[in-house]
Amino acid sequence: MSVDLTDERYEKHREAGDILAQVRAEAADRVEVGASHLDVAEYAEERIRELGGEPAFPVNISVDEEAAHATPEPDDDATFGEEMINLDIGVHVDGWLADTAVTVDLSGTDELAEAPAEALEAALDVVEAGVHTGEIGAEIESVIDGYGYNPVVNLSGHGLGHWEQHTEPNIPNRAVETGVELQAGDVVAIEPFATDGGGKVTEGADEEIFALEREASVRNRDARQALEQIVEEFKTLPFARRWLDTRRAEMALRRLSQQNVVHGYPVLQEDEGCLVSQKEHTVVVTEDGCEVTTR
């Protein structure tokens, strides 16, 4: 079945990707020793809005052993040091998404930063309708192994749906037997992670990113106010605690979590003392290749 890649949904994916490519570059330029995590995150999120999109999720700023789901808390005073920094940024236009990430290395570990970028290019070279997701993973694993590092095997790329940040198919970061064949018209984010650690991340204690699980009747006023904002502004997409306008947002989120109305995203991290790098693009799969929307 042929797919019309000029359809409005694809145009909105492309618009989101164009915005994201610009914001990624501008945000990365602001990552330097002594700069504020919160300033970089808020700059990127506001710049997305200025350019006509909306953040698809809070800007992730992952440092050293952190791989994903780290974002500044309200009034965060953290600054960058001589560290490995991953910026993961998303944009949506009317719910149609683009997702991208880049490593800014301030630690002097150049090759670890290069490994996922080269692995991503190798993956993009094989993407086309009919390619098996395990083959994409094999390309990623081969390049990262060649650098002497490990892919993070329990993180993967993913499909992008309407108001859905993570959908099928999963795009593994290693060779696997299971998986699916990509089809023309699929919109997927491919995101290799490389590490000098063991290659598996675990959940940390910190949670600053949340998403709606279900709508429900909530008695507490602050929690109810937070829920109204979540449903209206963020729908099913992830949001940050610092985005909530309600007073006592931390308590409101705790109540909503206890009622299974929202769920949190714990920071995912390698072992302490290890480093994780990342590179990600969003692509539209075509019959004979792919279109990178976030180049």
The residue range of the domain holding 229 is 205-268
Tell whether the model's pLDDT for residue 96 goes beyond 90: yes
| Confidence (pLDDT) at 142 | 98
- pLDDT tens digits, one per residue of 239-287: 999 999 998 999 999 999 999 999 999 999 999 999 999 999 999 999 9
Contacts (Cβ under 8 Å, ≥6 apart) of 258: none
- pLDDT tens digits, one per residue of 131-184: 999 999 999 999 999 999 999 999 999 999 999 999 999 999 999 999 999 999
Q: Are 153 and 138 in contact (CB under 8 A)?
A: no
| Confidence (pLDDT) at 3 | 86
Q: Are 262 and 253 in contact (CB under 8 A)?
A: yes
pLDDT, the chain, mean: 97
- pLDDT tens digits, one per residue of 190-223: 999 999 999 999 999 999 999 999 999 999 999 9
| 263 shares its domain with 277 | no
| Confidence (pLDDT) at 2 | 73
- pLDDT tens digits, one per residue of 100-136: 999 999 999 999 999 999 999 999 999 999 999 999 9
| 261 shares its domain with 152 | no
Split into its structural domains, the chain has a count of: 2
**Within its chain, how far is the Cα of 106 from the centroid?**
21
Global pTM reads 0.96
CATH of residue 230: 1.10.10.10
Burial class of 143 by CB neighbour count within 10 A (0 to 12, 13 to 18, 19+): buried
Laid out side by side, the sheet with 54-63 consists of 54-63, 84-93, 96-105
| 142 shares its domain with 282 | yes
| 231 shares its domain with 133 | no
- pLDDT tens digits, one per residue of 11-32: 999 999 999 999 999 999 999 9
| 280 shares its domain with 140 | yes
Tell whether the model's pLDDT for residue 5 goes beyond 80: yes
Q: Is 3 part of a structural domain of the chain?
A: no
Cα–Cα distance, 69 to 59 (Å, whole number): 9
| 144 shares its domain with 69 | yes
- Binning pLDDT at 50, 70 and 90, where does residue 1 land? low
Tell whether the model's pLDDT for residue 69 goes beyond 90: yes
3-state secondary structure the chain: CCCCCCCHHHHHHHHHHHHHHHHHHHHHHCCCCCCEHHHHHHHHHHHHHHCCCEEEEEEEEEECCEEECCCCCCCCCCECCCCEEEEEEEEEECCEEEEEEEEEECCCCHHHHHHHHHHHHHHHHHCCCCCEHHHHHHHHHHHHHHCCCEECCCCCEEEEECCEEEEEEEECCCCCCCCCECCCCCEEEECCEEECCCCCCEEEEEEEEEEECCCCCCCCHHHHHHHHHHHHHHCCCCEEHHHCCCCCHHHHHHHHHHCCCEEEEEEEECCCCCCEEECEEEEEEECCEEEECCC
Which parts are annotated binding residues for a divalent metal cation? 88, 99, 158, 191, 280
Which residue type occupies 23? V
CATH of residue 135: 3.90.230.10
Q: What percent of the chain has a predicted confidence (pLDDT) above 90?
A: 97
What mean pLDDT is predicted for residues 77-93? 98
Backbone angles phi, psi at 293, to 5 degrees: -85, -15
Q: Which residues participate in catalysis according to the annotation?
A: 88, 99, 158, 166, 191, 280
Maximal C-alpha separation, the chain:
56
Which parts are annotated binding residues for substrate? 69, 166
| 50 shares its domain with 113 | yes
| Confidence (pLDDT) at 43 | 98
> In whole angstroms, how far apart are CA 54 and each of 14, 57, 101, 109, 236?
14, 9, 17, 33, 14
| 57 shares its domain with 128 | yes
Q: Are 276 and 194 in contact (CB under 8 A)?
A: yes
Q: What percent of the chain has a predicted confidence (pLDDT) above 70?
A: 100
Which residue type occupies 142? S
Q: Are 90 and 56 in contact (CB under 8 A)?
A: yes
| Confidence (pLDDT) at 17 | 98
